[in-house]
Amino acid sequence: MRTAPVGLRIGAPAFAKPGAIAAFIAVGCSGMIFGSGQFFESLLVVFAFLASISLGALIFVMINHVVGTTWSIVVRRLAEHLMMNIVYVAVLAVPVMCGIHHLYDWSHPELVTGDAVLTFKAPYLNVPFFIGRTAFYFIVWSALAIALFRHSIKQDGDGSIGHVESMVKISAPGIAIYALTQTFAAFDWIMSVEPHWYSTIFGIYYFAGSFLAINASLAVIVIYLRSRGSLNGTVTVEHDHDLGKYIFAFVVFWTYIAFSQYMLIWYANIPEETVWFRVRWDGSWKWVSLALVFGHFVIPFFALMSRYMKRNPRVLLAGAVWMLVMHYVDVFWLIRPAFSHGAARLVAADMTSVIGFGGAYVALFFHRLARYPLVPEKDPRLAASVAFENH
């Protein structure tokens, strides 16, 4: 029987020092030299991508609290840090809101007047309400994340079971609140880029990719930390296996949702709905669509099906990195066709945004990671979590 590890910590890597974080942000902002159009379009993709990881972490933490899983305790702290990064994503929302007139047609009164659909939607899709909603989402998510994280950290000190109960009590209503806010956030930020089109399943589609992304992120982080000599014997192949199962399951779930959306639109064949897929089938977007079908479903579905693959750290790492890249492609595919009909283009600002804002996200994660124990070291279930085995 392995016992609970105590005092597991790592030092902050060089790229996670405050100076480095500032440098990353500077690289991200340097995208503006390519023009505000490119910058805002790239920023929205990275913003939606990073938000999906932190939102996935928030729901991952809450679900595991509510259902009382044991296996996830050893990766909980890692997920909590990604969850807390929602505060950084909230800061990223500020430049996105600055680009509102570039990104969202419905924000231009001259386009709304004379357009029956946009006029009808104007009570919902208007600038003050939109910014207010986004602010509201981030306040709610940050409040949930901070409340959960505080209890988790206090537990490191006193080891009280009361914190477990408190976290469950926060998480149960938290999940319901999350479901609504996350759904509307997906409608607002991503779907309203093409404001004439709508799909009621869109929020779940974003959630599917988001939950996939958090599990892939955790797998990458865990395997990276073990290669650096941390968490060995604490996060074992058994936990890898569970993360792999989640990744596999949500590869399938994403496909299920994506196809459900596609099939109804294909079958009904109503022009105002099919146009969304038409745009994504024109020119080189066709190849991006096909890349998603194969790269986001067919290949990982077969690659991650077997138990052996999920329990092999190298395969799992490759699969997790692959899925994170595919998730970025997915978010890209949701947003960018609206701005470049007929031609999928990865622009220079995409590079600076991914490296800069994405790099800052990763650096902030490691910065936080170095400040606290790597696992909730006094959670009463930690020893059981370390000893967890699949059957």
Question: Residue 120 or residue 302: which is nearer to another protein going by CB?
Answer: 302
Q: Which residue has the tokens 């209503």?
A: 173
State yes or no: residue 1 binds another protein (CB under 8 A). Answer: no
Query: End-to-end distance of the chain based on CA atoms, in angstroms?
Result: 16
What x-and-dash track marks residues 296-335 binding another protein by CB under 8 A?
A: ---------xxx----------------------------
Question: Residue 314 or residue 391: which is nearer to another protein going by CB?
Answer: 391
Burial category of 82 from C-beta neighbours within 10 Å (exposed 0-12, middle 13-18, buried 19 and up): buried
Alpha carbon distances (Å) from 151 to 104, 144, 157, 171, 332: 39, 11, 10, 12, 36
State yes or no: residue 389 binds another protein (CB under 8 A). Answer: yes
Alpha helices in 30-160 (DSSP H): 36-67, 73-84, 86-98, 100-103, 109-112, 116-121, 127-158
Kindly compute the dihedral angle of the four CA atoms of residues 246, 252, 254, 255, in this order, to the nearest 10 degrees.
170
Question: Residue 130 or residue 388: which is nearer to another protein going by CB?
Answer: 388
CB-CB contact of 118 with 196 (8 Å): yes
Pick the binder of another protein from 19, 229, 269, 271 (CB under 8 A). 269
Report in angstroms how near the CB of residue 368 gets to another protein at its nearest: 36
Question: Residue 113 or residue 390: which is nearer to another protein going by CB?
Answer: 390
Compute and round to an integer the Cα radius of gyration of the chain.
Answer: 21
Pick the binder of another protein from 123, 233, 271, 391 (CB under 8 A). 391
Amino acid (1-letter code) at residue 258: A
CB-CB contact of 31 with 352 (8 Å): yes
Pick the binder of another protein from 262, 277, 281, 372 (CB under 8 A). 262
State yes or no: residue 281 binds another protein (CB under 8 A). Answer: no
Q: Which of residues 56-95 bind another protein (CB under 8 A)?
A: none
Amino acid (1-letter code) at residue 273: E
State yes or no: residue 136 binds another protein (CB under 8 A). Answer: no
d(CA 123, CA 129): 8
Pick the binder of another protein from 129, 136, 266, 287 (CB under 8 A). 266
Report in angstroms how near the CB of residue 30 gets to another protein at its nearest: 44
Report in angstroms how near the CB of residue 104 gets to another protein at its nearest: 31
Pick the binder of another protein from 120, 259, 287, 294 (CB under 8 A). 259
Q: How many CA atoms lie within 13 A of 70 on its CB side?
A: 12
Question: Residue 36 or residue 289: which is nearer to another protein going by CB?
Answer: 289
Reduce the DSSP state of residue 340 to 3 states and report it: coil
Report in angstroms how near the CB of residue 266 gets to another protein at its nearest: 5
CB-CB contact of 364 with 12 (8 Å): no
Widest Cα–Cα separation across the chain: 71
Question: Residue 181 or residue 261: which is nearer to another protein going by CB?
Answer: 261
State both tokens at 218.
Answer: 């955790």
d(CA 230, CA 374): 9
Pick the binder of another protein from 14, 263, 298, 343 (CB under 8 A). 263
Question: Residue 123 or residue 269: which is nearer to another protein going by CB?
Answer: 269
Number of shown-chain residues binding another protein (CB under 8 A): 11
Report in angstroms how near the CB of residue 209 gets to another protein at its nearest: 20
Residues in contact with another protein by CB under 8 A are 259, 262-263, 266-267, 269, 305-307, 389, 391
